[in-house]
Amino acid sequence: MNEELIQNLVSAAESLSRSVDRAEEKLKTQKENNAKLQQLVFFLDAVAKRKERQVRETEVRVAKMKLRTSTMEMEMETKKREEKVREIELRAWLERDDRKFEQLKEKRKKALEKTTTDSSVTSALNALFEQREEEDQEDQEEERENSKRRKEKECEETDQMWLQKAREKVQQELAKFRVEFLERES
C-alpha cells in the first residue's frame, strides 16, 4: 500500500509539474501577447495623434484660404470704390471743363459779334461756329460714353477674373479637404 501511495504521489507530482509547466508557458505567452498589444496601442495612439495634427493643419490651411479669399474680396471692393471715386472726380472735372468751354464760347461769340459789322458775315460765322460747337459736343459725348463703356468692361473682366480664381481656389481646397477627410475615415 505504501508503494501504491508513493506511486500515486509521484504521479500526482508529475501531473502537478506538467500543470505548472503549462501554466508558466501560458503566462509567458500572455506576457508576449500583452507586450504586442501595448506596442499596438502605442502605435495606434501615435497614428491618432498624427491624424489629429493633420486635421488641425488642414483646418488652419482652410482658415488661411478663407482669410486670403476674404482679403482678396475686400481688396477688390476697395479697388471698385477707388475706381468709382476716380470716375466721379473725372465727371466733375469734365463738367467744370464743359462750363469753362461754354463760358469761353460765349466770350468768343460776343467778341466776334462786336468785331463783325456785316450781319451776313456774322450770321454765316455764327452758323459755322454753332455747327462746330455741336460737332465738338457730339464728339465729347461720344468719347465720354466710349470711355465709360471701356471702364465698365474692364471692371467686369477684372471682377470675373478674380471671382473665377477665388472659385477655383475654393474648389481645390474643398477637393483636398474631401480627400483628406476620406483618408481619415478609412
Residues belonging to the chain: 186
Burial of residue 151, with CB atoms counted within 10 A of its CB: 0-12 exposed, 13-18 middle, 19 or more buried? middle
Mean of all residue pLDDT scores within the chain: 86
The CA-based dihedral angle spanning residues 41, 46, 48, 50, taken in that order and rounded to the nearest 10 degrees: -170
pLDDT digits (tens, 9 = 90+) for 14-33: 999 999 999 999 999 999 99
Residue 143 located in a structural domain: yes
pLDDT band at 100 (very low <50, low <70, confident <90, very high): confident
Q: SS3 of 150, please?
A: helix
Give the C-alpha separation, 26 to 62, whole Å. Answer: 53
User: Strand, helix or coil at 58?
Assistant: helix
Q: How far apart are CA 151 and CA 70, in angstroms?
A: 24
pLDDT of residue 55: 92
In which domain, by residue range, is 100 found?
Answer: 55-185
Grid coordinates 506576457 are at which residue?
Answer: 31
Domain contains 10: no
Q: Half-sphere exposure of residue 18, counting CA atoms within 13 Å on the CB side?
A: 5
Q: Tell me the per-residue pLDDT of 138-183, one tens digit each, with 9 for 90 and over.
A: 888 888 888 888 888 888 888 888 888 888 888 888 888 888 877 8
Please state the domain count of the chain.
1
Distance CA 87, CA 3 (A): 123
Q: Is residue 29 part of a domain?
A: no
Tell whether 127 is covered by a domain: yes
